[in-house]
Amino acid sequence: MDPEYPCTISPACAGIFFGLALLMVAAATRADVDLSVLYLKEDIARPPVLSNLSPPAADSGLAGAILGISDSNTTGRFLKQRYALDTHVDASPEALIRVAREHVDKGNGVIVADLSKATLLRLLQTPELMGKTIVINSGAPDDELRRTECTSGLLHTLPSRAMLSDALAQFLIARRWKKWLLVHGDRPADLAWVSAIQRSEKRYGGRIVATKQWTFDTDLRRTAQQEMPLFTQGRDYDVTLIADDIGDVGEYVPYNTWLPRPVAGTQGLTPTGWHPVVEQWGAQQLQNRFTESAGRGMDDRDYAAWLAIRAVAEAVTRSNSSDARTLYTYMLSDAFEVAAFKGRSLTFRRWNGQLRQPIPLVQPRALVSQSPQPGFLHPRTELDTLGYDAPESTCEFKDAL
Amino acid sequence: MTPLARFLNRSCVRHAAIISLMLACAPQSRAEVAYVSNEKDNTLSVIDIDTLEVIKTIEVGLRPRGITFNRDRTVLYICASDSDAVQIMDVAKQRIVADLPSGEDPEQFALHPDDRRLYISNEDDAVVTVVDTQTRKVIAQVDVGVEPEGMAVSPDGKWAVNTSETTNMLHWIDTQTNKLVDNTLVGQRPRHVEFARDGSVLWASSEIGGTVAIVSVPDRQIKHTINFKIPGVHRDRVQPVGIKLSRDGRHAFVALGPANHVAVVDAKTFEVLDYLLVGRRVWHLEFASDEALLLTTNGVSGDVTVIDTKKLKPIKTIKVGRYPWGLAVAP
């Protein structure tokens, strides 16, 4: 017997059972479903940056997972489906993997992973987890995870860098800003951005007229007006693109370029999975719920974690199961779709587990546009103009665990 | 005919027309008008149905969305979402006379056939609030799914049905007890529900699913799903919201949001007969002139399209305020 109903045989109990039985018939003989989700967040040390105005929130991602569980429980209570969240935040990859193993040992099969690429790959290669759990990546934008190193069982709700870069490039081409000055830092993530932008350049017919890596060690807060015009001097360009993943130097580029040109990339006009300025298609309701629950605006990691849980819960609702294999197969099937305040239903790519999604292009206080831009066509769905398409992926990805 | 005679003749015809019009209108205090809520202007636009022109703009509470009349149309109820109130407008005085308690962020509502109980969706709170419009008190609050939106009461008054956009369900509330008794899982983001006049079926639109479900009321199961396909418009842009059913039971009209079209559906076979081009992001619909006309609110273009329901052709576009949302017509 379900421990929640610790009654022995009595008239009252019989009444409850009769009532329950009626309800179950009404709900097309649905059984109770309990699903426990583990959210893992790697506490990654961030180097100091010049601008200290808006560091990422300490609970970035975690707050989205909490809201995702709350939203799913509101839905689940009508279907006798209950969701629980375990969370673990740690700087140590070993500790994170240990917690994941404990979670799976207890018979659970869903993990939302807000981890670095390296830790995520280690987690996926842990023998005790393989084939037993769905891992939804809500923290690593790395393209390799979608193109060469993808693993069956691994899904992504965070957009890849290639998707973000393509989303920006489509907008630039639509505006006919075809000549790009690319400036970047020397960190691995900066260089990953450079690769993504170079790929988008080829894909959409932009032209990088010059690529410059900065080596500033002066305090740009005081010297940007002297340094930046000289640094951005050169051949004519329509727009300056910045690849500065942690936001150290990039904040000081806008308005200080040699030519009076807009700035885009990791700063300026920014492609992102989510931002507090998104309000269309009912998004304001999600923003309001999030602000009430977390006390701040919702960022792209929050959204990816929220969406990971909503996607799983949608699969639970429709399949009436909490079994990882059933859910995974359902999520990659044609029947699956999830509404997520982006104006259309979202689905997973069957060749790499990436969730297709429109990408907002934002400036800090307003939405500028949303890609895919009109006119960029694709035989399957326009959303597949963003990021790596099936023929570009060399993954041996399977839609069964 | 001399010019003078022609003038007299014509002016007589005109006068006769005016006199007959006055006679026709004599028992009523005013001509037929449509009220349109402008979500981003905090106003109602008043459209004269004879001339199809905006004759007045009335200031109301913040972010007005759903609007509906009481039975004798002396009072217009207005969901002023950001004022967290349902406002009561005295139609004769053309001004707000009172606020009803409504729960937080009221978006849409439906008046029970008893002309008294108002069932209100509270979008931010995941509840439906039931308000007695006479005592102006909250009778009940019913927990529903995330982001309650559409609201309808069955013609026999037995059911109040609410849609929850993120939970993707129709919630069936027994109006006798004001308790939730059943749920029907539908397509993604259900927006609007409309009962057939005989109460046998319920039409429910799913904005992101891109479908309209026909739900059998006795067993609350989906018996048919309508899909839409407009040449040249991607299926992702086909987002059904508002629904209106003609009294003769022949046609259903479905507003398709950013597809900028209204679908005409055979209400018996559920076959889509035609798509009518209207303004941008069409949301809600209302009949006028004894169902000879259908009005649509087009949020992005900020206008109302008037459709001739016999010819099934749009005949006029009327500019209103910013983000027109709801519609109510008083004959």
Residues 21-50 in A contacting B (C-alpha not used; CB under 8 Å): 26-27
Nearest to A74 among B145, B185, B236 (CB): B145
| Chain B residues with a Cβ under 8 Å from any Cβ in chain A | 123-124, 126, 145-147, 164-169, 171, 180, 182-183, 185, 188-189, 207-210, 234, 236-237, 239, 258
B304: distance to nearest CA of chain A, Å? 20
Q: Which of B246, B244, B242 is nearest to B298 (CA)?
A: B242
**pLDDT per residue as tens digits for the range A49-106:** 888 777 889 999 999 999 999 999 998 999 999 999 999 999 999 999 999 999 999 9
* Per-residue pLDDT tens over the stretch B176-210: 999 999 999 999 999 999 999 999 999 999 999 99
Higher per-residue confidence, A48 vs B87: B87
Cβ contacts of B234 on chain A, cutoff 8 Å: 382
**Cα B172 versus chain centre, distance:** 20
Write the pLDDT tens digit of every residue in A3-25. Answer: 333 333 344 444 444 443 333 33
* Cβ partners under 8 Å of residue A23, min gap 6: none
B251: nearest Cα among B281, B208, B287, B207: B287
Percent helix, strand, coil in chain B, to 5, is 10, 50, 40
Range with the poorest average pLDDT among A27-36, A187-196, B63-72, B111-120: A27-36
Instruction: Say what the pLDDT of residue B22 is.
Output: 45
Angstroms from B13 CA to nearest CA on chain A = 52
Distances (CA, A) of B307 to A319, B44, B257, B287, B317: 42, 21, 16, 9, 9
Percentage with pLDDT > 70 across chain B: 91
Chain B contact set for A74 (CB, 8 A): 126, 145-146, 167
Encode pLDDT of A107-149 as tens digits: 999 999 999 999 999 999 999 999 999 999 999 999 999 999 9
Query: What gap in Å lies between CA A253 and CA A276, rounded to an integer?
Result: 23
Sheet hosting strand B43-48, strand order edge to edge: B53-59, B43-48, B33-38, B324-330
Q: What is the DSSP letter of A55?
A: P
Task: Supply the DSSP string of A111-166, one letter for each residue.
Answer: EEEE--HHHHHHHHT-TTTTTT-EEEESS---THHHHTS--TTEEE-SPPHHHHHH
Residue B152 has pLDDT above 70, yes or no: yes
Q: Mean of the pLDDT values across residues B127-142?
A: 95
State the pLDDT confidence band at B18, using cuts at 50, 70 and 90: very low
Q: Which comes out higher in pLDDT, residue A382 or A398?
A: A382
B24 pLDDT band (50/70/90 cuts)? very low
Q: To probe the interface with B, which of A30, A67, A78 has the most B CB atoms within 10 Å?
A: A78
Q: Do B166 and A78 touch (CB under 8 A)?
A: no
Q: Name the pLDDT band for B259 (thresholds 50, 70, 90).
A: very high
Contacts of A338 in chain B (CB under 8 A): 188
Shortest CA gap B209–chain A (Å): 7
Q: Which residues pair with B171 in a beta bridge?
A: B162, B183
CB A240 within 8 A of CB A257: yes
Tell whether the model's pLDDT for residue A28 goes beyond 80. Answer: no
CA distance B315 to chain A (A): 29
Contact A78 B236 (CB under 8 A): no
Do residues A232 and A252 touch, judged by C-beta distance below 8 A?
no
Average pLDDT, chain A: 90
For B240, the token pair is 């059904």
* pLDDT above 70 for A183: yes
**ipTM beyond 0.85?**
no
Nearest Cα to Cα of residue A243 among A301, A177, A197 = A197
Share of chain A above pLDDT 90, in %: 79
Contact B298, B315 (CB under 8 A): no
pLDDT at residue A195, as a whole number: 98
* A184 contacts A215 by C-beta, under 8 angstroms: no
Contact between A114 and A39 under an 8 Å Cβ cutoff? The reply is yes
Q: Are strands B293-298 and B282-288 parallel, antiparallel or unpaired?
A: antiparallel
Residue B192: list chain A partners with CB under 8 A.
Answer: none
User: What pLDDT is attached to residue B219?
Assistant: 96
- Model confidence at B228, pLDDT cuts 50, 70, 90, reads very high
Q: Which residues are CB-neighbours of B16 under 8 A, at least 6 positions away?
A: none
Q: In this structure, are residues A241 and A201 in contact, taking their beta carbons and an 8 Å threshold?
A: no
Residues in chain B within 8 Å Cβ distance of A287 = none
Q: Which of B171, B185, B236 sits opposite A317 (nearest CB)?
A: B185
Q: Angle A62-76/A300-319 helices, nearest 10 degrees?
A: 30
Q: How far apart are CA A240 and CA A261, in angstroms?
A: 7
pLDDT (mean) for A224-246: 93
Do B236 and A381 count as a contact with CB atoms less than 8 A apart? yes
SS3 A283: helix
The tens digit of pLDDT for each residue in A301-353 reads 999 999 999 999 999 999 999 999 999 999 999 999 999 999 889 999 999 99
Helix A62-76 and helix A283-294, axial crossing angle in degrees, nearest 10: 110
Tell me which chain B residue has its CA closest to the CA of residue A72. Answer: B167
The residue whose two tokens read 């995870």 is A145
**Is a pLDDT exceeding 80 seen at residue A242?**
yes
Lowest mean pLDDT among A221-225, B13-17, B22-26, B109-113: B22-26
Which among A74, A289, A337 has the least Cβ separation from residue B188?
A: A337
**What's this model's pTM, rounded to 2 decimal places?**
0.83
pLDDT at A298 over 60: yes
User: What average pLDDT does range A348-360 have in this prediction?
Assistant: 96
Cβ neighbors of B261 (< 8 A, separation 6 or more) are B230, B233, B275, B276, B277, B278, B282
Report pLDDT for B21: 45
Which of these, B144, B96, B137, lies nearest to B122 by C-alpha position? B144
What's the one-letter identity of residue B102?
S
Q: What is the mean pLDDT of residues A185-205?
A: 96
Candidate from A75, A78, A345 with C-beta closest to B188: A345
Tokens representing A350 are 């069957």
Of A71, A124, A79, nearest to A100 (Cα)? A124
| AA identity, residue A102 | E
Whether the pLDDT of residue B146 is over 60: the answer is yes
Most A-contacting residue of B173, B185, B221, B222 (CB-CB within 10 A), to test interface:
B185
Q: Please tell me the predicted confidence (pLDDT) of residue A30.
A: 66
CB < 8 Å to A382, chain B: 234, 236
Strand partners, A34: A82
The confidence score (pLDDT) of residue B99 equals: 94
Tell if the CB–CB gap between B146 and A74 is shorter than 8 Å: yes
